[in-house]
């Protein structure tokens, strides 16, 4: 989970004071989870790197507006979310849906046939996930992949808690329907 644990103390006050070491620590802590989240939305490696960089630049410029230091992760993901929405609006939806899933690392404990089946299933799942509207896809990723609470997702996306719950409900329902349709198309 990305929330700050009781044992982890983020150097947010030092970052607010302009301490470069504090920013380096925050970057180190959040760069990978932020990249994974952004990549799942934009489906492009270079664009994801750009969005993460833009997110941190924006965070440095606007950290004074952060009221609660403990909410830094949610605030940072909120900035990234908005950057993705901006990018998404610039690109056509068809271009985003055509991009391929990046290769997943091969696990050595399982056989080659198992790896192929698993990669096919993951690719099929990601294709189905990409058919969902961006707000639904985003809520699913934030909740199940990044493990944010519904309240945190509301803060990240700028949506009310009821809207987050609704998007999550309809996203899961739509994903189940798409999965069943796919299963009916390709019976074993």
Question: Within a 10 A sphere around the Cβ of 19, how many other Cβ atoms?
Answer: 13
Give me the domain span that covers residue 87. Answer: 1-99
Q: What CATH number does the domain containing 42 carry?
A: 1.10.1740.10
Convert the pLDDT of each residue in 59-70 to its tens digit: 999 998 888 888
**Alpha carbon of residue 92 to chain centroid:** 20
User: Does 25 fall in a domain?
Assistant: yes
Cα diameter, the chain: 60
CA distance readout (Å), 88 to 75, 81, 85: 20, 10, 5
HSE-CB at 121 with a 13 A cutoff on CA atoms is 6
Convert the pLDDT of each residue in 76-105 to its tens digit: 999 999 888 888 766 654 444 444 434 444
User: Does 167 fall in a domain?
Assistant: no
User: Does 128 fall in a domain?
Assistant: no
User: Does 30 fall in a domain?
Assistant: yes
Taking the whole predicted model, whether its pTM rises above 0.85 is answered as no
User: Does 109 fall in a domain?
Assistant: no
User: Does 13 fall in a domain?
Assistant: yes
Q: What is the pLDDT of residue 130?
A: 81
Convert the pLDDT of each residue in 102-155 to its tens digit: 444 444 455 556 656 666 777 777 788 888 888 888 888 888 777 788 888 888
Has residue 185 got a pLDDT over 90?
A: no
Mean pLDDT within 16-38 = 93
Count the domains in the chain.
1
Tokens 């489906």 sit at which residue?
43
User: Does 72 fall in a domain?
Assistant: yes
């Amino acid at each position: 989970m990305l929330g700050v644990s009781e044992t982890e103390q983020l150097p947010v006050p030092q970052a607010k004071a302009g301490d470069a070491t504090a920013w380096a620590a925050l970057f180190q802590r959040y760069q990978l989870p932020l990249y994974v989240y952004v990549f799942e939305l934009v489906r492009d490696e270079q664009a994801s790197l750009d969005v993460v960089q833009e997110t941190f630049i924006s965070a440095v410029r606007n950290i004074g507006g952060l009221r609660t230091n403990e909410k830094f992760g949610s605030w940072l993901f909120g900035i990234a979310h908005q950057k993705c929405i901006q990018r998404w609006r610039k690109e056509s939806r068809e271009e985003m849906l055509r991009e391929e899933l990046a290769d997943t690392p091969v696990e050595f404990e399982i056989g080659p046939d198992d790896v192929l089946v698993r990669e096919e299933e993951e690719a099929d799942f990601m294709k189905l996930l990409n058919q969902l509207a961006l707000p639904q896809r985003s809520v699913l990723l934030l909740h199940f992949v990044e493990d944010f609470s519904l309240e945190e997702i509301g803060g990240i996306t700028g949506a009310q808690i009821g809207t987050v719950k609704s998007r999550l409900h309809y996203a899961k329902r739509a994903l189940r329907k798409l999965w069943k349709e796919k299963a009916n198309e390709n019976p074993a």
